[in-house]
Structure 1
Amino acid sequence: MQRAMRLLEAAASHPGGAPAKQLAREAGLALPTAYHLLRTLTYEGYLRRRKGLLVLGEAAERLGAGGARQKQRGTLDDTLAHWHEAIGAPIYFAVYREGEIELVTVADSPGNPAVEEWADFRETGHAHAIGQCLLSQLDAEARRDHLERYPVQSITRYSVRDDRTFLRRLDAVGRMRPVVEHQEYALGTVCAAVPITVGDIAATMAISVPSHQADRLLPAVQALQREIGKLLGTLGFSISI
């Protein structure tokens, strides 16, 4: 395995391709051994021949992309963990992808736990700040499409009651304004979400606190907003996770 990896590393250093003898030399392998491994790597799709030279194949590219995504996800998790500790509240990161609300990651702790997903976040976007913020960034047609698949339903006594009222609320919020909800998804919890748009992808970072600590919510959101610019590089790469 280590010898095969050395050959792949040698091939990766030559985007335009390299002959087998050169790869063997750079990997420090005897030619017979290198030829055997190169044939296997080519058969498995990790290498391919192009005009007599060996270049990375699709399997190696997928492997590299997976490693990059893992690194990006780790960076995102570290970023959220930092702000969870600094703000003292759960931090959520979510995106709207292929017509669905997707909660990508959450940073919380026993002392400041995240809201329990007692009703599917995807189906109850009208009731929580994450969903409201994501849907507020969509155009009218995309909003209607979402509500046709996931109609407004009563979650708590504070939830919006019907599609028309909800759509009016989204219009009033505007596309790039923070969203706040009070006990609409979970009794005893208030939440705020900050919109983030990268290209044509809607995303959000959100915070939740117990309702008796509601006075903490606005300062926490303001602190998060001040740092959004610094975080956009991390979040932009994380959209593809």
Structure 2
Amino acid sequence: MAGAPTLIGSVQRALHLLDAVGASERPATAKFLARALDLPLPTTYHLLRTLVHEGYLRKLDDGYVLGNRVDALGQRNTVQAVVSRARPALQSLRDELRGATYLSLYQDGEIKLIDVADGPSMPSVDLWVGVHEVGHATAFGKCILSCLDKPGRDDYLSRYKLADLTPHTVTDPRVLEQRLRLNRGVVADREEYLLGTACVAAPVRAPGLIGAVAISAPVRRYPALMADPGALSRAANRVARAVALRA
């Protein structure tokens, strides 16, 4: 039987202080924090000075509040938190439909692929061209673009050429716009990004977030992927709910 893990008490106490300050509706004084956490007052002052020096807390006239480092950490970890919550749904979809699965998000005007769940018998697509610049040719890119309003699509498309990746890639802006406006639910890429590969995607919508969940497979399996889009839509809904819960 494994022994108990070795813990560093000073780190625990510092983290508990951050929790207590964050939970307080008003600036928290050192005496209040010492009593709340059952810490000696000198120890509390020492930890608070360290946290203020490092930017995790700010000292005001009437107590302590969370510092800028905490805010920055939360912003950097937004994508990481989405990945953590979405991964089970991606893995479940991969195993159910036997194909590599993908999660992409629309952030700061860009289409970003943030996670892939694949396996030895379900390899991911060879991303030979950066997916952020070819949203017109990927299922998840088209899915995200179809969720944007017209000005949003125009902004993205004004910055990226409609590259001709395969004979099946749509490069006419008018045809692309018509298809994006008509897209509802599941969106397909049938050898538009890579010959021999098909991909289908469903939108992920949550407060403050637009994204897509997609699955790829050899093009011979395209009819099977499109025959039952329910699994893909359910996976996208699970991701959306997980993200909404975090928000």
Smaller-chain TM-score bracket: 0.7 to 0.9
Aligned counterpart, 2:89: 79
AA aligned opposite 1:14: S
**2:85 touches 2:243 (CA, 8 Å); kept in 1?**
no
Aligned counterpart, 2:104: 94
Aligned counterpart, 1:217: 225
Aligned residues: 237
Q: Residues 125, 48 of structure 1: CA spacing in aligned structure 2 closer, same or farther, 3 A cutoff? A: closer
Shift of 1:236: 3.9
Aligned counterpart, 1:132: 142
Shift of 1:186: 0.8
**1:91 touches 1:208 (CA, 8 Å); kept in 2?**
yes
Q: Residues 15, 95 of structure 1: CA spacing in aligned structure 2 closer, same or farther, 3 A cutoff? A: same
Shift of 1:220: 4.8
Instruction: Give the Cα–Cα distance (whole angstroms) in 1 for the partners of residues 74 and 174 of structure 2.
Output: 47
Corresponding residue SS for 1:122 = helix
Instruction: Give the Cα–Cα distance (whole angstroms) in 1 for the partners of residues 207 and 222 of structure 2.
Output: 33
Shift of 1:15: 3.2
1:31-70, aligned counterparts within 5 Å? 31-63=41-73, 70=80
Q: Given the alignment, which residue of 133, 144, 148 partners 2:154? A: 144
Instruction: Give the Cα–Cα distance (whole angstroms) in 1 for the partners of residues 78 and 144 of structure 2.
Output: 26
Aligned counterpart, 1:186: 194
Instruction: Give the Cα–Cα distance (whole angstroms) in 2 for the partners of residues 164 and 46 of structure 1.
Output: 51
Aligned counterpart, 1:198: 206
158-167 or 188-197: bigger deviation: 158-167
**2:204 touches 2:239 (CA, 8 Å); kept in 1?**
no
Q: Residues 220, 105 of structure 1: CA spacing in aligned structure 2 closer, same or farther, 3 A cutoff? A: farther
Cα RMSD of the aligned pairs, angstroms, is: 2.7
37-46 or 89-98: bigger deviation: 37-46
**2:89 touches 2:238 (CA, 8 Å); kept in 1?**
no
Corresponding residue SS for 1:195 = strand
Aligned counterpart, 2:6: none
Per-residue CA deviations over 1:183-210 (Å, capped at 9, x if unaligned) read: 1111111111112333464321111110
Q: Give 5+ residue unaligned stretches, structure 1.
A: none
Per-residue CA deviations over 1:148-183 (Å, capped at 9, x if unaligned) read: 211212111121232233223323x33x33211211
Q: Given the alignment, which residue of 224, 227, 234 partners 2:242? A: 234
Q: Residues 52, 126 of structure 1: CA spacing in aligned structure 2 closer, same or farther, 3 A cutoff? A: closer
**1:15 touches 1:55 (CA, 8 Å); kept in 2?**
no
TM-score (norm 1): 0.83
1:100-139, aligned counterparts within 5 Å? 100-139=110-149
Instruction: Give the Cα–Cα distance (whole angstroms) in 1 for the partners of residues 19 and 155 of structure 2.
Output: 47
Q: Residues 191, 6 of structure 1: CA spacing in aligned structure 2 closer, same or farther, 3 A cutoff? A: closer
Instruction: Give the Cα–Cα distance (whole angstroms) in 2 for the partners of residues 139 and 68 of structure 1.
Output: 24
TM-score (norm 2): 0.81
Instruction: Give the Cα–Cα distance (whole angstroms) in 1 for the partners of residues 168 and 74 of structure 2.
Output: 47
